[in-house]
Structure 1
Amino acid sequence: MKLIVVDDEKGIVDGLRRMINRYIPECEVIGTAHNGLEGFELIQTLQPDLVITDIRMPKADGLDMIKMLNDVGSQAKFILLSGYTDFEYARRGMQLGVHYYINKPVEVEQLRECVGQVMEKIRLERTKMQEMNELKQEVLTRKQEKAWRDVLDLGSDNSDFLEELLQMAQIPMENASFLCAILELDGSAAAMKELSLHAVFEHIDRIFKQYQGVFRFRYAGSQVAIVIAHGESIKYEDLVRASALLKEEVQLELNLSATVGIGTIQKSAAGVSQSFEEASYALSYKFIKGSDEVIPFPEINNLTGPSHAVPEELIAKLEAGLDNMDESGCVETIREIFRGMEAEKNMRAADHQSQCLNILLSCVRNMPFQQLQQNDFLGRHILSLESISRSRTLEHLEEWTLKVIRRIISFKLEHNIPKKKDIITEIKDYLVKNYKEPIRIADLASRFFISPLYLSQFFKQKTGETYVNFLTQIRINKAKELLQSTDLKVYEICEMVGYSDTQHFARLFEKLTGCKPREYRKNIPNA
C-alpha cells in the first residue's frame, strides 16, 4: 500500500515514517508534506492508497485538504492525526467520510491497528470493485457479441441500423478500419467445450492485443468469429502473420488443429459483413488446400482469377441440381460446362484446374462444414489440390468432377439432408412458430442442413430481405397484438416476443411503427 504523511511538525513526520517502515512493512511511505495545500498537490500527483494527516496545519488544515481532495475525486483513505479531542473535528471528519483517528503522541500498537483496519477496508473495496468490473465487462462482452452477430446476419443494407447497434454496444466506429477472420477448430466435440474455447479466446486476445478492438465469439459449430477494429491503418500482412501465430499456438499449446480464413480490410462498420463473407469463402478452400492452413481471401481471388469464368447461370443451375439431388441434371450441367471449357482453345491445364476449384466450391458452399468433415472420401481424398493436379487431361478432369458430384449427392442422401426446393417456406414457418426463442442464423443453418453464409444469401435472394428483418417484423407484429389485447407491461411483452433488452426492443418498435410501445397502446382507441 502507498502512503503519504502530512503534518506541520517535522519530528512527527520523521517518527511516523520510521515506525511505518519498521512495523508496517505492507506500507511504503512515498511522500510527506507539511501543510494542507502542499499535501493537496502531493496527493493528487502521487495518488496514494492511504494518507495520515494532522488536523491543525498552516495554509489549509487537514479537513480542508480532505474536502478539496474529495471535490476532485481522490480515492485515498484518510486517518486523522491530532492531539485535540474537540468533538467538532470528529463531526466534520465524519461528514467528509473519515472514520479513523490516531491521537498524539502516536503509539506503535495504535498505529498498526488503525492502519491495518484501513488497509483491510481498501482490500475489500478493491475486491468488490474488481468483481463489479468483471461483471460489467462480461455483460458488455455479451452485448457486443450479440451486436456483431446481428451485423454479420443483417449484411450491409441498413447502415443506419448497424451504426445504432454498434453504438449501443459501445463499439468504436469513428475513423476505424475493420476486418473479419474465422478460426475453425478440427477435432471431436469434446475439444470445443467452453473451457477449451476460453483458452482459445485468451490466445486471440493476446496475439491481437495491438489492435484497439478485438471481438471474438463462437459463431457456428467449431467456428470462432474474430472481428478486428482499429483506428489507425491496418497492415494486412501483419494480420496474416498474427493469424499464422494463432494457429500455431492453438496447435502446440491446446493440441487443437485449426484453419483460419481471413477477409479483407474494410473502411467502415458497414463492410464488416462483406469481410466476414470473404473470410467464410476463404475458409471453404480448406477442402481444396487442406486443413491447418491460414487462407487470406486475396490469395484465393488470385488463385481462381477472373479469366475464363464459368457463366453464372450454369453455376446456379448446378447448385439447383445439387439442392434437389438431381443427379442427371447435375451431370448434364457439368457436361455443358466442360464443353464450354473445351471450346476455349487458349485455356491451359492450370486454367482448367482453376475452373474445377470454382465448380467444387459451388458444390459444397451451401453444405455445413461439420457434415463435410464427417465424410472421409470428400474431405480427404476428393477435395484436394493433389486430386485435381493428377487429372492432366480435360477428359480426365471432367470424369473426376462428375465423380465428386455423384459422391456429394450420395453423401446428402446418406445423411438425410432434405431437398431445398421449399426451404425458405420451411424457414419462415419455423420463425413464425419459434419467434419467442433466441434464434441465431447458425441455429437455423444447423436445423436445415445448410451453411450460415449460404442461408443468409439464399433467404435474401428469395425474399428480398434478411432473416433478421423478417424475424423482427414477426416479433413487432406480435408485440402490437399484445399491446392491444393485454395489460402486460412493456418489459413483459419485450421478453414474450424474444427480446432481452427493453431499450433495444423499444427502438425497433419505434423504427417499424413510428411510435414508442406506450404511445402505441395509448393511441389504440383512436386508431
Structure 2
Amino acid sequence: MKNGTVEVYDRAYRTMIRDWVLRDLMFGGGRDTSELQEMLAHAGVNPHYAFPAVALFDPGAGKQDDNRRAVKLRETLEGRAPDGAEVFANGAGQIGLLFSRSASDELESLRRESEAALRGPVSVGVGNSCSRLTDIRLSYEQAQAALRHKFYRGTNRVIRYAQVPPSHALREYPLKRELELARRIPKLEDEEAIARDVSGFYRELLQDGPIEIDHIYELTIRLLAGVENRLTPDEQEDGGRIRHEIVPILRMETLEEIERFVSGYFADLREEFHRREREKDVRRSVIQQTIVYMEAECRHATLDSVARRVYMTPTYLSMLFRANTGRTFIEQLTDIRINKAKEMLRSTCLKNYEVAEKVGYRDSRYFSQIFKKKVGLSPSEYRESVTG
C-alpha cells in the first residue's frame, strides 16, 4: 500500500514537472536548442518533432464542474494521443497537445472520442506547424486564436488557425437596423420571426467578415438597451432590465448563443409592450368614461362621486387622469362647466346666476371670475358678443 502511494505521488510529481516545462515552452520561448533539450530531457518529454504544432482541447461547460471535466479530458487524451505526442494542462482549463504535423489528421477522431467520454461538447483549436520546437510558442498562440473563433464557428468542432479569417474593424454601427427592429418587434407574430430579424442584424454587422469578439458583446448590449429603451421607455430610470443581463451575456461562448438570447429577450419585450398597450387601452377607456360622467353630471360632479362611478379611489383616479391627459381632474371639470355655460349664454335667456348654478357654481361672483379668466370676457360681455 505504501509503495502504491509513493507511486501515485511520483506520477503526480512527474506530471507537474512536465506541465511546467511544456507551459514554459509555450509561454516563455527564447531558449536555445541545448537549454531546451536539457529541460525536455529532465521532464521526460520527447525533444524530436517533425514540424511540431499545438492543439488546445476545450471541455466547455457541462453538468460536472469545469475542473472535473478538464481532468477527464486529460485522461482521455493521454490514453488515445498519437505516438510521441505530449499532453499538458495550460492552466486555463484547457488541455494542450504537442504533436508532429503527421498526426494532424487524427485530431477530429480525438475530439469525437473526447466528446463521447465527457458526454458533452469539446472544441479544438489548432495552430500551424513550426519548423522547429523553439518556435512552438507561435503555434500555441495560433491555437488559442483558433479556439476563440468557436464564437463564430460554433462549439464541438476542430478549428484550424489556417482557416480562420482575419478580424476587421466595424465600419459603422447599424443604427437603422436597430430602429427597424424596435419598430417591427411589436408586429412580429412569434419568436421565429424575431429570430430571423435578429440574425439579419448580426449578418449586417459581419457582412465584411468577423470583427473582434469583444465588440460583439458591446454591440449586443447596445442593441438590447436601444430596443428596450424604445419599447419600454418608462423603465429606463433604473437602468431597465438589460443591466441585470450584462454579465450573463459576457459569459456566452458563441454568436449562436447570443442570437438565441437576444431573440428570447426581444420576445419578452414584445409581450411586455403588448401588456402595457392593453393597460393603456384600459386606462384610456376609464378616462373616456370619466369625462362622459363629468359632462353629464357637471353640476354635481366631484372627484369622489366620479371615482365611485368608475370603481376607483379618488387618489388613483386623480393620478391616472393627470398621467393620461396631462391635466388635473379639476382643470378638466372647469373646462366642461365653462363650455356648457357658454352654450347656455348663447342659446338661453337664463340669468347669469342661473347659468352658474346649472353648471355647478353656487357663488355667481366666483363663476364670473372663473369665466373671465378662461374666456377673457365676463358672462354678460360674452352673451352680448355672441348675440349681437
Q: TM-score if structure 2 supplies the norm length? A: 0.43
Structure with bigger helix share is 2
Structure index of larger Rg: 2
The structure, 1 or 2, with the larger RCO (C-alpha pairs under 8 Å, 6+ apart) is 2
